[in-house]
Structure 1
Amino acid sequence: MRPRAPVTFETALRSAIGESGLTLHAIRGRLARRGVHVGIGTLSNWQTGHNRPERSESLRAVTALEELFALAPGALTALLGPRRARGRQAVGATERLRFDTVPSGTAIARIVGEICPEIPNDVRVLYTEEEVVLGAGRILSEIRTRFLARAEVNGVDRCFAVNLAEPGYDLDTIRVSAVRNCRPGRVRRDHAQWLVGTELLLDRVYNAGETFLIEYTAVIGQPIGDHEYYRAFARPIGLYVLRIRFAPSEPPRRCHQFQAANADQPRGERELALTDARIALVAAQNPGRGVVGVRWEWDPVPPIQ
């Protein structure tokens, strides 16, 4: 007589789903009505064993599934066992995020902890490209961001974006829209520190060693007072490319690129020639923690006659 195969989390979940007669779409909908949000792809990966719940939000979803399927408490969660050690799955020695080197670091760390409590060391950013679009009237129209990253552990399904706005901006009108391979999730605004943090839910779950490319746009639509833009890095990345696109009617008189270990420290600057008379382009290979950016000078606005 062949011994009975041991019951695993995925087999128990697959059995419960089959006995319920519900589709994954229906299960997702019923969980959402209970205030628990989980993607169809995630449910599919759980029942096939391709991935398993580990994050606190995912474990809450498993408990909700036990209730949905009228299972005994712990019928599924007990099969998960101890959480897998993430350090052994890492594909590289990712440096930990350190927000002490970026402006409003304490507030940023708090926002990241709220929207992505387990993400800070799950990915290695290989390449980041930004295009800052300035419209007529010296309006900061939008910031377009694309980045390529590699999962350092199994189960990476989200990342985050934090925008530091200028004092006086209406934070409630600033929003992040997805362009490719992601969608906005939770949003947190810190009006005291002028911060907008957005959770970015990836198109699928990525495991250690897999790379993913996402694009998103931060829509600002407000006048830019500080004549500069920079990106702050909480840990080193491979390559950073920044383009400042000025309105054709209002090119800057002069531009400088700068880099510093901290936004408040003296900067190393050099003058920057524009391409096409209205685009400032900067590429920083392996920038360390700190800031990389561009400042510019506009001619004074002529007085209204």
Structure 2
Amino acid sequence: MTLHALQSRLARRGIQVAIGTLSNRQTGHNRPERPESLRAVAALEELFTLAPGALTTLLGPRRPRGRLPAGGLEHLRFDAVPGGPALAKIISEICPEIPNDVKVLHTEEEVVLAPGRVLREIRTRFLAQAGMDGVDRCFAVNLADRAHDLDTVQVKAIQNCRPGRVRGDYSRWLVATELLLDQVFNTGETFLVEYTAVIDQPIDEDEYFRAFGRSVGLYVLRVQFTPSELPVRCYQFQTTHAGQPRTEQEVHLSNARFVLTATQNPKRGVAGIRREWE
């Protein structure tokens, strides 16, 4: 029986399981543990005319969840960021079982602007620590400018990962990419991931921000301008909710024509840089 046929038969029983999830469980890449996942395993026992419990007993006890020295992790939430429900939905499509037990220790981003106020690319590097065994993936989501062609936005791996599933939400200008790690990490292990989102399109918006589903250790943002098109002012901003008033602080261009900001332990919400042109 193919995985698509298996998915269809489960759907007839009111159980929705993504093909990617079935494939990962078939290969042992991950295992069902949640109540709805165990319900699907019980349905498989019926499909294959096995005795009740024949498959579920093979799973063994639930895997222990590791604890990090910082005292555990916040649950990943998107209610404080722009388009939260749409964001959560598109992430669930590329990562049906979101790896909540991962603590981001440090994030660096570089936004590169080309002549004509073209957003060339956004380079991202982050250091994280696994809070459970079996961490093998993460995700990247880009909120594009409304004038952008989402079909041309590409996420390219640079270090320790490779692109997996990609989904686009054209009504919300979201592009989500699954990042498959080069190896599996267990509790307490740290790993570095680097990738770039190639946009290469003009932008209408005068700001760039990163949205946080939970607090992180340190966030560093650098915006690189082209010498022929420099802003007259730049402002660093941060807010706990995208719809709330935010505080701004002016930041100055360096001699190398970039602005650099660092935010220590930003909470859920957004942090970024706004620019004013002549």
Length-normalised TM-score, structure 1: 0.73
Percentage of matched positions with identical amino acids: 62
Match 1:162 to one of 131, 135, 141? 141
1:190 is matched with 169
Cα offset, 1:226, TM superposition? 0.7
1:1-305, aligned counterparts within 5 Å?
A: 53-55=30-32, 78-86=57-65, 89-91=66-68, 92-299=71-278
Structure 1: runs of 5+ lacking an equivalent: 1-33, 47-51, 64-71, 300-305
- Count the aligned residue pairs: 243
**Which secondary structure does the structure 1 equivalent of 2:248 belong to?**
strand
Contact 2:147 2:204 in 1 (8 A): no
Contact 1:55 1:118 in 2 (8 A): no
RMSD: 2.7
2:13 is matched with none
The letter for the 2-side match of 1:239 is L
The letter for the 1-side match of 2:242 is A
Bigger Rg, structure 1 or 2: 1
* Separation in 2, partners of 1:204, 1:77: 27
Structure 2: runs of 5+ lacking an equivalent: 1-19, 42-49
Length-normalised TM-score, structure 2: 0.80
Cα offset, 1:127, TM superposition? 0.4
List per-residue Cα deviations over 1:196-221 (Å, max 9, x = no partner): 01100001110010000000000001
Contact 2:143 2:175 in 1 (8 A): yes
The letter for the 1-side match of 2:118 is I
* Separation in 1, partners of 2:99, 2:239: 23
Cα offset, 1:90, TM superposition? 2.7
* Separation in 2, partners of 1:90, 1:108: 27
Contact 1:130 1:243 in 2 (8 A): yes
